[in-house]
Amino acid sequence: MSLDKDTVRRIATLARIRVDEEALEPLAGELNNILGWVEQLNEVDTQDVPPMTSVVETEPFQRVDRVDDGGQVEDVLANAPEEAEHFFVVPKVIE
């Protein structure tokens, strides 16, 4: 599998990262090098091998399902680049 410039543009849009047009081609080269290198994983026989979901074999810890935190609007908004009346402010969404 090989990434072309258009695929890199599409991934960058999915990842919400602005990439300048002239950077797409070199980036495709770098990503292809990495993807070419990981191709070797296909040598491993993984027939009937389950994908790892948890690295430590343990019973998940159970807790009582109750609210134990909250009501901290000021703290939640303290680092916001822009806020108004207890809301985060973003660029206009609806025309």
Partner 1 sequence: MPTLTQMTLAQARDGLVGGEFSAVELTDAHIAATEAVRDLNCYILETPDAARDMALAADERRSRGEGGALNGIPLAIKDLFCTKGVQATAGSHILEGFTPPYESTITRQLWEAGAVMLGKTNLDEFAMGSSNMTSYFGPVVNPWQRTNDDAKLVPGGSSGGSASIVAARAAMAATGTDTGGSIRQPGSFCGIVGMKPTYGRCSRWGVIAFASSLDQAGPLTRTVQDSAIVLGAMAGHDPKDSTSVNVPVPDYEAALGGDLKGLKIGVPKEYRLDGTPAEIEALWEEGINWLKAAGAEIVEISLPHTKYALPAYYIVAPAEASSNLARYDGVRYGLRVEGGTPQEMYENTRGEGFGVEVKRRVLIGTYVLSAGYYDAYYLQAQRVRTRIAQDFHEAWEQVDAVLTPTTPSAAFAQGEKMDDPIAMYLNDVLTVPASMSGLPAISVPAGLSGDGLPLGLHVIGRPFDESTVFKVGQVIEEAANFTALPQLMAGGA
List all residues 6 or more positions away from 28 whose beta carbon is below 8 Å from its beta carbon: 3, 4, 5, 7, 8
Which of residues 67 and 90 has its CB atom nearest to partner 1 in the complex? 90
Which of residues 67 and 93 has its CB atom nearest to partner 1 in the complex? 93
Interacting residues with partner 1 (CB under 8 A): 1, 3, 7-8, 11-19, 27, 30-31, 33-35, 37-38, 40-44, 46, 49-58, 60-61, 63, 72, 75-76, 78-82, 88, 90-93
Q: How far is the CB of 4 from partner 1 (least distance, A)?
A: 12
d(CA 34, CA 44): 18
Which of residues 71 and 72 has its CB atom nearest to partner 1 in the complex? 72
Closest residue by Cα to residue 23 from 40, 8, 42: 8
- Is 24 in a helix, a strand, or coil? helix
